[in-house]
Amino acid sequence: MPEDFSGFENVWLRSSFEAHCLTGSYSRNTRRFENQVGLLVDTLNDCDYDLLGRQPKIPRLMGMRHASREWTVFMVVEHLCLHTDYLFRAMQALLIGDETRALVPNYRYLVPEDVGADCIDRFQDSAWQYIGFANNLAESGRYKESTGSIRHDLFGRLGLKRLHALSSFHIKIHRRQVQKVLATEGVV
């Protein structure tokens, strides 16, 4: 069990992720991810960058690790850059059957504190590259070809379709985190 989550939260996260996977086709999860990216980018574009660099301490949100409660909005966006790039590489690796290249790195502690506004452009580039890749897999049907999987510390074995579902599930949690940070500053 991941150290940051209580037994109840583990059950809630797993159940929520299962429901997310069951209610979303591959293409629907691409649209969900794209929608979350759009909502997040709209929110970020409406804010003063000085505000996005402030380090708050927000109340605990379900699905969010304790350490990330003090992240600036820029740090959250940087985390999403890292995670989206990882998903892109992991899905490519699973397509060619290379499960060792698709291992889940531990990004929760790798976000530098001195991240600046340039992470927003990097995130948009990363997200649109991922969306293009996901759409190409859907159009070609190649997402159905992958038989490999990787082990996630909370969600167990993830094949390509479930890994893709994680993209929209994950970004939604962090978009809520950004909203909570902005709410503590009186913005949202």
73-116 pLDDT, tens digit each: 999 999 999 999 988 988 998 888 887 766 666 655 567 778 89
What pLDDT is recorded for position 108? 52
Whole-angstrom distance, CA of residue 9 vs CA of residue 82: 24
Q: Which amino acid is at 183?
A: A
CB atoms under 10 Å from CB of 112, counted, come to: 10
Q: How far apart are CA 101 and CA 160, in angstroms?
A: 13
What class has domain 7-184?
A: mainly alpha
Model confidence at 176: pLDDT above 60: yes
- Any idea where the domains of the chain sit in the sequence? 7-184
Nearest alpha carbon to residue 174 among 8, 70, 63: 63
**152 by DSSP, 3-state: which?**
strand
Q: Given a cut of 90, is residue 156 above it in pLDDT?
A: no
End-to-end CA distance of the chain, in Å? 34
Residues in contact with 155: Cβ distance below 8 Å, sequence separation at least 6, in sequence order: 13, 14, 17, 162, 166
Give pTM, 2 decimals.
0.89
| Vertex 31: Cα angle to 58 and 110 (nearest 5) | 40
**Is the model's pLDDT at 162 over the cut of 50?**
yes
pLDDT tens, residue by residue, 30-77 = 999 999 999 999 999 989 888 899 888 787 777 777 777 788 999 999
- Supply the pLDDT for residue 98: 80
Tell me the residue ranges of DSSP E strands in the chain: 149-152, 156-159
Instruction: Please report the pLDDT score of residue 133 as a whole number.
Output: 95
